[in-house]
């Protein structure tokens, strides 16, 4: 039952995401491409690109798009896929919103609690590792092309290096995604 | 008292017109809630931000929940959340439906062939930026490295790694004292 599984997966993804959208990528990836095989790694990479290019919170965009595609890939009608999109988006925010409300109500109690501070000091370090794992798992032949030294492989490595450096220098991700896409169109359409 | 429709509209604008996720929305939320509407003091806003960052979930939605609740209780939180995510969700669904039709298109395929390595680089770059703010040093860099290896090479679920960090941080803090 893809709908129940989708709901349960995104419930888990929401409540275990600390540190924003990038940290969420590792969790979504492990649920939808490793545990359930709802999407291929390539489809997932495309969804990430679209989610970063379109308005809205990246976590919501990724959940919506993944929910839609997963239900469609399971062989259901498009209108049921829309239901999947809404379900995944609702599931991903359900528990965090509840926790957030509790936290606002009990704000004074948790403030300055040493245990909470210690937990978050370690969580912040672990989340960096989580993001690195997400990037490493996306380094696939599907995304970079094969065999080695083909046009696509060489160009992909060059684009990866360029975007990596420019992103560290805080060039806008949207600009980088659109520019890489245009390089792709020019290189692969005329090669 | 803040009106529900005003709350909805403020978060609607922020959600519908900000590209780049939660962190890109923060300055806009500050401008809208603190400067333009005068609903919150700047310190209140920053407290709300610190809380939203330390809770699990989507940052923008956490902000909408906290600010909405502060301004108008549970229904206020609901108005802010729905306002924040309704346009992005509709937009993505429309795009996902359209994208199916363009899937076989050579230009679209070539566009994404260029974009895929770029997306991987965009995810890899924050690792190095965040390492600083997570105060990772030579003596603690084994922690993120171990997390990476467990997930990447041993297929351990990120959820287990997070849980281990919660327990580890708690126990370490108690032993240190």
User: Are A56 and B15 in contact (CB < 8 Å)?
Assistant: yes
Residue B110 sits at the chain A interface (C-beta within 8 Å): yes
Res A94: pLDDT: 96
User: Are B123 and A138 in contact (CB < 8 Å)?
Assistant: yes
Res B78: pLDDT: 96
User: Are B88 and A55 in contact (CB < 8 Å)?
Assistant: yes
- If one compares B50 and A187, the residue with the highest pLDDT of the two is A187
Distances (CA, A) of A19 to A131, B56, B63: 10, 7, 13
Dist CA B41 CA A120 (whole Å): 26
Q: In chain B, where are the structural domains located?
A: 4-102, 124-176
Per-residue DSSP letters for B2-44?
--HHHHHHHHHHHHHH-BS-HHHHHHHHHIIIIIIS--S-HHH
Res B69: pLDDT: 93
All residues of chain B having their beta carbon less than 8 Å from the beta carbon of residue A53 are 19
Res A120: pLDDT: 78
User: Are A54 and B88 in contact (CB < 8 Å)?
Assistant: yes
Per-residue confidence at A109, pLDDT binned at 50, 70, 90? Answer: low
Res A108: pLDDT: 54
Dist CA A60 CA A21 (whole Å): 9
Contacts 24+ apart (CB under 8 A), B72-75: B72/B1, B72/B2, B72/B4, B72/B7, B74/A101, B75/B4
- Stretch B161-170: mean pLDDT, rounded? 89
Percentage of chain A exceeding pLDDT 70: 97
- Coil, strand, or helix at residue A55? strand
Q: What are phi and psi of A149, to 5 degrees?
A: 75, 10
Taking alpha carbons only, the member of B95, B151, B123, B152 closest to residue A143 is B123
Which range is most confident: A4-13, A104-113, A125-134, B161-170?
Answer: A4-13
Burial class (CB in 10 A: 0-12, 13-18, 19+), A147: exposed
Q: Count the neighbouring beta carbons within 10 Å of the beta carbon of residue B177.
A: 6
Q: Which of B56, B66, B80, B104 to probe the A interface (max A CBs under 10 A)? A: B56
pLDDT tens figures, B33-73? 998 999 998 888 887 887 887 789 998 999 999 999 999 99
All residues of chain A having their beta carbon less than 8 Å from the beta carbon of residue B172 are 118, 122
Which range is most confident: B29-33, B78-82, B157-161?
Answer: B78-82
Nearest CA in chain B to A30: B157
Closest Cβ–Cβ partner in A56, A103, A160 for B55 = A103
All residues of chain B having their beta carbon less than 8 Å from the beta carbon of residue A92 are 57-58
Taking alpha carbons only, the member of B135, B138, B126, B11 closest to residue B68 is B11
Residue B50 sits at the chain A interface (C-beta within 8 Å): no
Chain-centre distance of CA B16, in angstroms?
15
CA distance B77 to chain A (A): 9
- pLDDT of residue A97 exceeding 80: yes
User: Are A101 and B65 in contact (CB < 8 Å)?
Assistant: yes
Q: Count the neighbouring beta carbons within 10 Å of the beta carbon of residue B94.
A: 11
Judged by average pLDDT, the poorest of A64-68, B26-30, B83-87 is B26-30
- pLDDT of residue B27 exceeding 90: no
Nearest CA in chain B to A114: B173
Per-residue confidence at A177, pLDDT binned at 50, 70, 90? Answer: confident
């Amino acid at each position: 039952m893809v709908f129940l599984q989708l709901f349960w997966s995104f419930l888990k993804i929401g409540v275990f995401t600390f540190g924003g959208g990038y940290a969420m990528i590792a969790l979504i990836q492990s649920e939808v491409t490793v545990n359930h095989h709802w999407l291929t790694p390539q489809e997932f990479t495309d969804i990430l690109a679209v989610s970063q290019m379109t308005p809205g919170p990246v976590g919501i965009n990724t959940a919506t798009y993944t929910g839609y595609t997963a239900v469609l890939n399971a062989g259901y009608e498009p209108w049921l896929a829309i239901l999947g999109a809404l379900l995944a988006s609702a599931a991903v925010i359900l528990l965090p919103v509840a926790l957030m409300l509790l936290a606002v109500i009990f704000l004074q109690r948790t403030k300055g609690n040493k245990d909470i501070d210690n937990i978050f000091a370690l969580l912040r370090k672990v989340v960096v590792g989580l993001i690195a794992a997400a990037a490493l798992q996306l380094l696939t032949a599907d995304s970079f092309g094969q065999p080695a030294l083909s046009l696509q492989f060489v160009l992909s490595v060059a684009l990866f290096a360029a975007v990596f450096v420019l992103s560290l220098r805080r060039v806008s991700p949207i600009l980088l995604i659109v520019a890489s896409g245009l390089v792709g169109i020019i290189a692969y359409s005329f090669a | 008292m803040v009106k529900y429709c005003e709350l909805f509209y403020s978060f609607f604008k922020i959600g519908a017109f900000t590209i780049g996720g939660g962190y890109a929305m923060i300055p806009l939320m500050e401008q809208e809630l603190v400067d333009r509407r005068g609903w919150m003091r700047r310190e209140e806003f920053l407290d709300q931000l610190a809380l939203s960052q330390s809770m699990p979930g989507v940052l923008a939605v956490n902000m909408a929940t906290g600010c909405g609740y502060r301004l108008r209780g549970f229904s206020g939180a609901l108005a802010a959340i729905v306002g924040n995510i309704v346009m992005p969700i509709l937009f993505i669904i429309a795009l996902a439906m359209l994208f199916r039709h363009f899937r076989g298109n050579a230009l679209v395929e070539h566009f994404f062939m260029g974009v895929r390595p770029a997306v991987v680089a965009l995810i890899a770059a924050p690792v190095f930026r965040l390492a600083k703010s997570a105060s990772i040093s030579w003596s603690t860099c084994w922690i993120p490295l171990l997390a990476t290896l467990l997930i990447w090479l041993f297929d351990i679920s990120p959820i287990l790694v997070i849980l281990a960090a919660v327990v580890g941080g708690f126990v370490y803090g108690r032993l240190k004292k």
